[in-house]
């Protein structure tokens, strides 16, 4: 119902806008070209494009897990319907094989198809518009040298009039500012580099910023937290719920390795992001880390104090995966009320064992899942665990879906929130638990085989699928 109201509002806007709008909305087609030969691209440019594509996570949206890379077809559920990602392999008939560099650059800069029609902002061109011409060249070189895959695009599943692309012109009128990136004069080089990368290809805000009713990122709530694939993307602004405030170093480690001892494992949709970060040059990753942390502002003195107390109490957790001399679990503390007893019996054996991350269970006092604004992530992890990866080292957590019923899960989560969360109880926890179990809210399950054992080990990274 709401969708239809929104849709018709847009339609009304379009009609009222009339001719001026039509002039704004219409774009010419760019002529198709013969698919360029692989050899025509400079290998150095192709390599640079690979790095940029890693930062942009193109492979994640444009690949069905287990399917051919970049061949598209991944279903992206939105409040408006389901959109399927397109084939961006250089296949001449079903991919972008006949796209000129200009067409590609225009798609990134202006959100337009080769034939001039608007692209759905599920393709985050509101971010990609910031990408420089030079970087678009490299991306083009990279994509055009991939293996072509014949895979026709799937029809999007959108109601009328949203399935009429010209409607998107209205959306763009309201929410889209074309790039490229303009450096902030009052900020240093690293910050601007980080901003360019994070706001551009990184499109962090696409998940980490809340969206309005029309699906656009809310201006003024930059990085205040969002949603992806049934997971909550934490606030990464001043409202960051991290027990230990992020630093550039810790953020850098987390982004590159996929885990940090004070923050946990990158999981759900974040797992492939950190997996891809392994292929981003170190200085770029560091810039992104610096920019992101800068967005969080300076933590308050109170927050710093609490973090120090926490660290002192729990002690540092060293690198490596070696457990104690018996096994990798511990004697759990005995529980009292139901939630505490469940924690003691089912969780504490691993989560208080002190076994180092990434393979040990994180001490929940550090967990953003427990401290964060929404219980979604914690519910997902407790129900589904962390799945084993195919033939690669990855933390494995069993799921407790069959073990805990809804009442037990609510009791457990409430207890964790109270004991470790340092924050008020979640509202709507019952409902969130019910929705997760019933499948009303589907959460993606991605193996966390992107994690890297400490210390930094370049032989243990890779993309996720």
Partner 1 sequence: MSAAGETGLSRRGVLAGAGALVLSFSMDCAQAQPQEGQNARQEPRPAPQLPGSLKSSPRLDAWIRVGADSSVTLFTGKAELGQGIRTALLQVAAEELEVELAAIRLVTADTGATPNEGYTAGSHSMQDSGTAIRHAAAQVREILIARAAGRLGVPGEGLRAEGGAVVSPDGRRASYGELVADGLLAVRAAPESRLKDPARFRVMNQPVQRVDIPAKVTGGAAYVQDMRLPGMVHARVVRPSGPGARLEALDSGAVERMPGVLKVIRDGDFLAVVAEREFQCIQAMRALSAAARWRAGPALPKQAEIFGTLRGLPSEDTAILDKRTPQAAQRRLEASYTRQYQSHGSIGPSCAVAQVRDGVVTVWTHTQGVYPDRDAIAEMLRLPKERVRCIHTEGSGCYGHNGADDAAADAALIATAFPDRPVRLQWMREQENAWEPLGPAMVTQARAGLDASGAIVDWDYEVWSNTHSTRPGTAGSLLAARLVAEPFPEPAPKPLPQPEGGGDRNAIPLYTFPSARVMHHFLPRMPLRVSAMRALGAYMNVFTIESFMDELAAEAGADPVEFRLRHMQDPRARDVIARAAQAFGWKAGERPPRGRGHGFGFARYKNLAAYCAVATELEVARETGRARMLRAVAAVDSGQVVNPDGLRNQVEGAIMQSMSWTLYESVSFDEAGVTSVDWSTYPMLRFNGVPLSVEVHVIDRPGLPFLGSGECGQGPTAAAIGNAMAQATGKRLRDLPLTRERIKAAVGV
Partner 2 sequence: MVKLTVNDRQHEVDAPGDTPLLYVLRDYLELHAAKYGCGLGQCGSCTVMVDGVAVFSCVTPVMLLEGKKVTTVEGLGTAENPGPMQRAFIEEQAAQCGYCIPGMMMRAQALLQRNPRASDEEIRTHMQPNLCRCGTHARILRAVRRAAGLIQTAEAAPAVRSAAR
Using an 8 Å Cβ cutoff, are 24 and 169 in contact? yes
- Find the part of the chain contacting partner 1 (CB under 8 A) among 32-40, 113-121, 198-206, 320-328: 320-328
Rounded least distance, CB 331 to partner 1, Å: 5
**28 or 402: CB nearest partner 2:** 402
Interface residue with partner 1, options 109, 114, 137, 146 (CB under 8 A): 146
**68 or 156: CB nearest partner 1:** 68
Tell me how crowded residue 373 is: count the other CB atoms within 10 A of its CB.
15
Using an 8 Å Cβ cutoff, are 264 and 227 in contact? no
- Contact between 50 and partner 1 by CB under 8 A: the answer reads yes
Rounded least distance, CB 17 to partner 2, Å: 49
Using an 8 Å Cβ cutoff, are 432 and 376 in contact? yes
Interface residue with partner 1, options 76, 321, 341, 418 (CB under 8 A): 321
Closest CA to 436 of 461, 404, 462, 458: 404
Q: Classify residue 305 as exposed, middle or buried by CB count within 10 Å of its CB (0-12, 13-18, 19+).
A: exposed
Rounded least distance, CB 162 to partner 2, Å: 33
How far apart are alpha carbons 351 and 89 in whole angstroms? Answer: 43
Q: Which does 408 bind (CB under 5 to 8 A by kind): partner 1, partner 2, none?
A: partner 2
Q: Which does 71 bind (CB under 5 to 8 A by kind): partner 2, partner 1, none?
A: none
Q: What is the DSSP letter of 459?
A: G
**129 or 145: CB nearest partner 1:** 145
Q: Which does 17 bind (CB under 5 to 8 A by kind): partner 1, partner 2, none?
A: none
- Footprint on this chain of partner 2 (rule: CB under 8 A): 327-329, 332, 334-335, 341-342, 344-346, 349-350, 385, 387-388, 396-398, 400-405, 408
**242 or 394: CB nearest partner 1:** 394
How far apart are alpha carbons 132 and 114 in whole angstroms? Answer: 19
The residues, any chain, with a CB within 8 Å of residue 211's CB and separated by 6 or more, are 217, 218, 226, 227
- Contact between 325 and partner 1 by CB under 8 A: the answer reads yes
- Contact between 323 and partner 1 by CB under 8 A: the answer reads yes
Closest CA to 366 of 249, 265, 238: 265
- Contact between 289 and partner 1 by CB under 8 A: the answer reads no
| Residue 7 vs residues 50, 153, 163: alpha-carbon distances, Å | 38, 24, 10
Rounded least distance, CB 324 to partner 2, Å: 14
Interface residue with partner 1, options 105, 110, 204, 453 (CB under 8 A): 453
Rounded least distance, CB 345 to partner 2, Å: 3
Q: Which does 295 bind (CB under 5 to 8 A by kind): partner 2, partner 1, none?
A: none
Rounded least distance, CB 327 to partner 1, Å: 4
Q: Which does 70 bind (CB under 5 to 8 A by kind): partner 2, partner 1, none?
A: partner 1
Rounded least distance, CB 396 to partner 1, Å: 4
How far apart are alpha carbons 450 and 267 in whole angstroms? Answer: 9
Rounded least distance, CB 407 to partner 1, Å: 25
Q: For the chain, how many residues are written?
A: 465
- Widest Cα–Cα separation across the chain: 77
- Contact between 427 and partner 1 by CB under 8 A: the answer reads no
Using an 8 Å Cβ cutoff, are 245 and 303 in contact? yes
Q: Which does 81 bind (CB under 5 to 8 A by kind): partner 1, partner 2, none?
A: none
Closest CA to 175 of 204, 213, 131: 213
Say whether 435 sits in a helix, a strand or coil.
helix
| Backbone φ and ψ of 131, nearest 5° | -70, 135
| Residue 436 vs residues 54, 85, 256: alpha-carbon distances, Å | 31, 25, 30
Contacts with partner 1, residue ranges (CB under 8 A):
43, 46-47, 50, 59, 68-70, 142, 145-147, 320-331, 359, 388-396, 453, 458-463, 465
């Amino acid at each position: 119902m709401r969708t239809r109201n929104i849709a018709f509002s847009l339609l009304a806007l379009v009609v009222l806008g009339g001719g001026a709008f039509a002039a704004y909305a219409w774009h010419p087609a760019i002529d198709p070209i013969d698919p360029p030969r692989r050899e025509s691209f400079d290998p150095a440019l192709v390599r640079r494009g690979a790095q940029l594509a890693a930062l942009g996570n193109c492979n994640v949206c444009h690949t069905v897990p287990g399917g051919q890379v970049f061949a598209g077809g991944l279903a992206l559920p939105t409040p408006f319907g389901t959109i399927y990602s397109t084939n961006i392999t250089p296949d001449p008939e079903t991919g972008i094989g006949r796209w000129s560099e200009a067409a590609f650059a225009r798609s990134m800069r202006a959100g337009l198809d080769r034939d001039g029609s608007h692209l759905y902002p599920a393709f985050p061109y509101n971010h990609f518009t910031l990408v420089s011409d030079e970087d678009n060249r490299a991306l083009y070189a990279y994509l055009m040298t991939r293996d072509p895959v014949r895979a026709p695009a799937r029809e999007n599943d959108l109601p009328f009039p949203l399935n009429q692309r010209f409607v998107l012109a209205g959306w763009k009128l309201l929410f889209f500012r074309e790039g490229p990136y303009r450096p902030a004069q009052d900020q240093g080089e690293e910050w601007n580099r980080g901003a360019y990368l994070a706001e551009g290809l990184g499109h962090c805000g696409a998940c980490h910023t809340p969206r309005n009713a029309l699906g656009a990122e809310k201006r003024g709530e930059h990085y205040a937290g969002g949603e992806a694939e049934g997971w909550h993307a934490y606030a990464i602004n001043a409202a960051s719920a991290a027990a230990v405030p992020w630093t550039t170093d810790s953020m850098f480690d987390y982004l590159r390795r996929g885990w940090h001892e004070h923050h946990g494992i990158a999981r759900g949709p974040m797992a492939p992001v950190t997996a891809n970060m392994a292929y981003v040059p170190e200085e770029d990753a560091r810039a992104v880390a610096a920019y992101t942390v800068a967005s969080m502002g300076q933590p308050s003195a109170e927050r710093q104090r609490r973090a120090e107390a926490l660290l002192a109490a729990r002690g540092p957790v060293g690198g490596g995966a070696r457990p104690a001399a018996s096994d990798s679990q511990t004697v759990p503390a005995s529980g009292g009320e139901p939630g505490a007893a469940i924690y003691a019996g089912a969780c504490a054996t691993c989560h208080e064992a002190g076994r180092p991350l990434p393979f040990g269970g994180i001490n929940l006092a550090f967990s953003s899942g427990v401290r964060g604004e929404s219980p979604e992530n914690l519910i997902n992890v407790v129900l589904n665990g962390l799945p084993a990866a195919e033939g690669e080292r990855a933390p494995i957590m069993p799921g407790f879906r069959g073990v805990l019923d809804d009442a037990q899960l609510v009791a457990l989560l409430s207890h964790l929130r109270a004991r470790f969360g340092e924050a008020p109880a979640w509202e709507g926890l019952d409902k969130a638990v019910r929705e997760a179990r019933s499948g009303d809210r589907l959460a993606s399950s991605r193996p966390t085989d992107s994690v890297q054992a400490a210390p930094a080990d370049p032989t243990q990274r890779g993309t996720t699928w």
